[in-house]
Amino acid sequence: MRPGRPCCTGAWTEQCVAEVEALGCGTCEGPVEGACCEAHDTPSCDDAAIAACVCAQDDLCCTTSWTEQCVAEVEAFGCGTCEPPVEAPCCEEHDTPSCADAAVSECVCAEDPFCCEVEWDGLCVSEVESLGCGTCGAPGGTGCCEEHDTPECDDAAVSACVCAEDPFCCEFEWDGQCVGEVETLGCGMCQ
């Protein structure tokens, strides 16, 4: 940069950061503020191009803090993408928000925001099918008329019906009582 330009004589602004790569002066690994796809208390995010794009339309993201709204604007403004962690399948509960399939995650969270704000618990997993967001085969293809030590059974409708009255069957294991309830609750036939 030429002497006398604001970046050399004044404060190092977001514009200066954006010019580093744009002018071919080098690359920016990004400030330590935080990831663009995670809310944090400091302004801006670790990708200068995404930050510049978002902040051009919402300057609060670069002057106050990088909020959940800023994270949502990354994709909404076409500035980049925020993918959920791949290690978090939609059909398995986990203590992090969202799940690996963005479409399933968005569908479930439209009805149950807890799943994308706090954690992807057992209810979120059951909502994948009950809300029509996707399908989850029961672990190991276990039958509804057979006892097994895993929750649910391989027929989502029967599982949902039984578990509406007896949540134990979808939270802990599909025991003999769950098998008996398939017929006594009118959820299906075991013959």
* Per-residue pLDDT at 86: 46
For residue 189, tell me if it sits in a domain: no
Residues 28 and 61 both lie in one domain: yes
The pLDDT score that the predictor gives to residue 24 is: 64
The pLDDT, as a whole number, for residue 58 is 94
CA atoms within 13 A on the CB side of 38: 10
Q: Which residues in the chain land under pLDDT 50?
A: 1-4, 29-32, 85-86, 138-141
What pLDDT does residue 27 have?
Answer: 56
* pLDDT value of position 31: 40
pLDDT on residue 138 = 46
Q: Is residue 45 part of a domain?
A: yes
Give the chain's domain count. Answer: 3
Global pTM value: 0.33
The domain of 69 spans: 6-76
My answer on whether 40 and 69 are in the same domain is yes
